[in-house]
Amino acid sequence: MPAQRRHARKQRLESAFSRAEEAIRNSGWDAALQSDLAKYLCVLLSGFVEATIEDIVVDYAIARGDQRLEKAVRGIADRFQNPKPGTLLDFLAAFDVEWRHRLEHFFSEEISRQDALLSVVDNRNRIAHGEDSGVSF
Assign 3-class secondary structure to 104-132.
Answer: HHHHHHCHHHHHHHHHHHHHHHHHHCCCC
Domain ranges in the chain are 2-128
Q: What percent of the chain has pLDDT over 70?
A: 99
pTM for the model: 0.87
Query: Mean per-residue pLDDT for 89-105?
Result: 94
pLDDT recorded at residue 17: 93
Lowest mean pLDDT among 22-36, 44-58, 78-92: 22-36
Burial class (CB in 10 A: 0-12, 13-18, 19+), 57: buried
Rg (CA), the chain: 17
